C-alpha cells in the first residue's frame, strides 16, 4: 500500500527521566511523521510494549507534559497554527491522557464528566446531550449514566475515561493500557474507537501501551519495544527503545492480521524477553 510521510508530528530527542537520582528511562529518540495515503484519512497509531517496570508509564507522563524530562526534548507539531508546520515543546494539556488508573472526577457522574469534557466545544446543549447519549449507548454505559466513579466497575471507569479524552483532546492522545480490564466486547468497542479517531484527521495520533502483543501488532502502524538495553554485555537498569517495528515499511499496516503479523509477534516477544 503506497503512502508518503509529511510533517513531523512528534519528535523526541535524547529523552531521559529520573526520579531523584534514579534514572528510569534514558536515550529515547524517535520521530513520527504525518502519514498520507491517497484516498484515505490516516492518523498515526503507535504502540509501546515492554515488560513491567521498564518505563512505559514514565515515558507517557513525559509525552503528556506531566513530568519534566531530565534531559532532552519532546516537540509536537503545533497543529493549531500553520497547518502543523510549527513545532512546540509539549506542555500539560496538549495531549489527552488516559492513565493506567483511569482517574475520573470523584464528584461528577459519568454524564456530568462527559458534559464537562465537551465544555469548550461549539455545540448547543441538545447537540452535546445527543453526542453523550450516543457514545454512552455505543460503549455500553447507558445504565451507568448517573453513577459516580466509586459506583462503577473498572471497565466502566476506563471506558468513561477514554470517551472523556476523545471529547476533549486535540490531535494527540496517550492511553496507558487501554485494553486491560476490558471484556471482549469492550475491546472491540475500543478498537473501533481507535479506528474512528485515526480516520477523522491525518494529524490524529494515538499512542498506547499494552501487554497484549497481538493487539499491538493488529492495531498499530508503529511499534516500540521498551526494555533494559544490554551494553557491553551488561544489562542496564533503565528503560529505552530496544526495538522498533515500522509496520508501514514492513507492508503490514492497515491490513487484516495474518502470517506476517504473527512473525512480528514472535520477534517482539524475543526482544522483550531479552530486555
Q: How far apart are CA 180 and CA 113, in angstroms?
A: 22
Q: How far is the CB of 221 from ligand ATP (least distance, A)?
A: 22
Q: Which residues lie closer than 8 Å to 87 by C-beta, 6 or more apart?
A: 8, 11, 75, 76, 77, 78
Q: Which of residues 54-73 bind ligand ATP (CB under 6 A)?
A: 54-58
DSSP codes joined into one string, 199-218: TT-TT-EEEEE-S-HHHHHH
Q: Candidates 48-56, 118-126, 166-174, 194-202: pick the segment binding ligand ATP (CB under 6 A).
A: 48-56
For residue 16, state whether it binds ligand ATP (rule: CB under 6 A): no
For residue 57, state whether it binds Mg ion (rule: CB under 5 A): yes
Q: How far is the CB of 115 from ligand ATP (least distance, A)?
A: 31
Q: Candidates 8-16, 52-60, 129-137, 253-261: pick the segment binding Mg ion (CB under 5 A).
A: 52-60
Three-class secondary structure of residue 219 per DSSP: helix
Residue 50 interaction partner, one of ligand ATP, Mg ion, none, beta carbon < 5-8 Å per kind: ligand ATP
Q: How far is CA 118 from CA 121, 131, 164, in A?
A: 5, 10, 8
Q: Candidates 53-61, 90-98, 107-115, 240-248: pick the segment binding ligand ATP (CB under 6 A).
A: 53-61
For residue 237, state whether it binds ligand ATP (rule: CB under 6 A): no
Contact 13, 241 (CB under 8 A): no
| Residues forming the site for ligand ATP (CB under 6 A) | 19, 24, 50, 52-58, 100
Amino acid at each position: 500500500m503506497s503512502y508518503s510521510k509529511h510533517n513531523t508530528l512528534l519528535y523526541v530527542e535524547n529523552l531521559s527521566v529520573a526520579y531523584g537520582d534514579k534514572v528510569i528511562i534514558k536515550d529515547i529518540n524517535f520521530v513520527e511523521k504525518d502519514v498520507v495515503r491517497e484516498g484515505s484519512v490516516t492518523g498515526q497509531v503507535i504502540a509501546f510494549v515492554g515488560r513491567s517496570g521498564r518505563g512505559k508509564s514514565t515515558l507517557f507522563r513525559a509525552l503528556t507534559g506531566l513530568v519534566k524530562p531530565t534531559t532532552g526534548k519532546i516537540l509536537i507539531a503545533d497543529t493549531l497554527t500553520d497547518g502543523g508546520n510549527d513545532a512546540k515543546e509539549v506542555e500539560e494539556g496538549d495531549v489527552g491522557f488516559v492513565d493506567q488508573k483511569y482517574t475520573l472526577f470523584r464528584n461528577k457522574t459519568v454524564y456530568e464528566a462527559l458534559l464537562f469534557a465537551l465544555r469548550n466545544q461549539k455545540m448547543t446543549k441538545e447537540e452535546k446531550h445527543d453526542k453523550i447519549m450516543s457514545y454512552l449507548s455505543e460503549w455500553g454505559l447507558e445504565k451507568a449514566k448517573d453513577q459516580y466513579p466509586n459506583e462503577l466497575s473498572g471497565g466502566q471507569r476506563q471506558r468513561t475515561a477514554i470517551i472523556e479524552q476523545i471529547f476533549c483532546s486535540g490531535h494527540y492522545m496517550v492511553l496507558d493500557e487501554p485494553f486491560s480490564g476490558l471484556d471482549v466486547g469492550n475491546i472491540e468497542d475500543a478498537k473501533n474507537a481507535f479506528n474512528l479517531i485515526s480516520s477523522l484527521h491525518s494529524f490524529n495520533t494515538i499512542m498506547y501501551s499494552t501487554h497484549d502483543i497481538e493487539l499491538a501488532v493488529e492495531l498499530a502502524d508503529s511499534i516500540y519495544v521498551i526494555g533494559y538495553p544490554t551494553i557491553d554485555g551488561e544489562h542496564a537498569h533503565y528503560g529505552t527503545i530496544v526495538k522498533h517495528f515500522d509496520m508501514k515499511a514492513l507492508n503490514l499496516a492497515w491490513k487484516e492480521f495474518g502470517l506476517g503479523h504473527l512473525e512480528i509477534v514472535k520477534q517482539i516477544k524475543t526482544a522483550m524477553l531479552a530486555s
